Amino acid sequence: MAEPKHAGPALVGPHDLPADAPRADILFTAPLVVIQTATAAGYGLWMVLGTSLALGLYPDGRGEVLVPLSIGLVFASLGLIATCLRLGFAQDWHGWNPAKRMMPTIEGLVAMANYLPMLALAGLARGGNDFWATRLTGATLAVCTLATLVFTARSASRQLPAAIAAVANTQPLGRTVSAVFAGGLWFWVCIALQSETSLDPLTHWRLGLLAVALALGIVEGMRWRALRQLAEERGVPDRFTTGGAAGRLLIGRVGVAVLSVGLPCLLLVSHPAGRLLALAAGLAALSCGIGQCLEQRLYGRAYAQLVVA
């Protein structure tokens, strides 16, 4: 979801911002952060599902396909719904406001393209997922979601200063990795709720999620390193390394890392059985979502403190 384009004073100097750029503080408001995180998780869920179907690794069953498609539909559509309801924090969706202009932007069209393979896949889900058309449609859905995450992130980052783009997590790499990890955990929830047999603790997608979690930790470290470099450029290199503020920031970062990556990975590795499996999967997905929202807010506050120093 693209950020609203409000006019007003920004947290950085006027020479750093385009004329129509959104205010930096608006990028970190709780409603926008929640919608952006949920939307990315929806795309990530569709990507994981489509890839599994394309590779023939997903179990047969109509409900097994429709449930993750439906959950992804709710998540991915939150931004568009908020814009159509004219909520104050969501004045446009990928630069498009249906109440003000007829045709969506290019970014909006790319995002809407996901609905075509999603609907086709819902129609093809008839119990057997080895049908070539089902696998081809799954691959198409995975490609469309990846294109949406990358293209819309690049488009948004062009309208923002580089530092704010990193804070808003609009860079393609960070957004894609976060989306795949969160979506993969929701994929685990769908499997845990519908599977009638015990799951192998070393399944391919579990190992894949652990690898994505490692990549996510590296990406988040890169983002915080970029913030430290910005502090050095502004002549306050000790802003986040010494003093009480640095200690609180470190505690916050550790807490966020535990929620977004640590606890989900622990639950993945522990592999609970029986009814605890669905509970563990749901807890991991919720913990990741909350952690990603808090990480975005924490990074935003740290950046705001830096630029007003």
* Position 1 confidence tier, pLDDT thresholds 50, 70, 90: very low
Contact 58, 139 (CB under 8 A): no
Share of the chain above pLDDT 90, in %: 35
The angle formed by the CA atoms of residues 50, 95 and 308, to the nearest 5 degrees, is 105
- 67, with CB counted inside 10 A (0-12, 13-18, 19+), is middle
Does residue 8 sit within a domain? no
What confidence tier does 226 reach under pLDDT thresholds 50, 70, 90? confident
DSSP code of residue 93: B
pLDDT tens, residue by residue, 230-273: 777 777 766 666 666 667 777 888 899 999 999 999 998 887 77
Give the Cα separation of 92 and 40 in Å (integer). 17
- Distance CA(147)–CA(163), nearest Å, equals 23
**pLDDT at site 195:** 67
Task: State how far the Cα of 282 lies from the Cα of 264, in Å rounded to an integer.
Answer: 10
Cα 119 to the chain's mean position, in Å?
22
Q: Is residue 67 part of a domain?
A: yes
* Domain membership flag for residue 127: yes
At 96 the three-state DSSP class reads: strand
Please indicate, yes or no, if residue 74 is contained in any of the structural domains. Answer: yes
Model confidence, pTM: 0.86
pLDDT digits (tens, 9 = 90+) for 46-86: 999 999 999 888 877 888 899 999 999 999 999 999 888 88
* 138 has pLDDT over 90: yes
The predicted pLDDT at position 302 comes to 79
Bridge partner residues of 93 (DSSP): 96
- Residue 107's closest CA among 148, 78, 69? 148
CB 239 within 8 A of CB 231: yes
Using CA atoms, how far residue 21 sits from 8, 25, 42, 110, 111, in Å, is 10, 12, 26, 22, 21
Rounded distance between C-alpha atoms, residue 101 and residue 108, angstroms: 12
Residue 129 has pLDDT above 50, yes or no: yes
What the block records as the tokens of 169 is 């997590």
Domain of residue 80 covers 14-307
The CATH number of the domain holding residue 297 is: 1.20.1630
Domain count, the chain: 1
Q: Are 56 and 129 a contacting pair, CB within 8 Å?
A: yes
Give the pLDDT confidence score for residue 266 in this predicted structure.
92
- Bigger pLDDT: 297 vs 287: 287
Q: Is residue 187 part of a domain?
A: yes
In a domain, 236, yes or no: yes
pLDDT of 148 strictly over 90: yes
- Alpha carbon of residue 267 to chain centroid: 20
Tell me what pLDDT residue 5 has.
Answer: 37
Compute the distance between CA of residue 305 and CA of residue 11 in angstroms, rounded to an integer.
9
Considering the domain boundaries, does residue 9 fall inside one? no
* Radius of gyration of the chain from its Cα atoms, rounded to whole angstroms: 20
Most confident range (mean pLDDT) of 59-63, 180-184, 195-199, 241-245 is 180-184
- Is 24 domain-assigned? yes
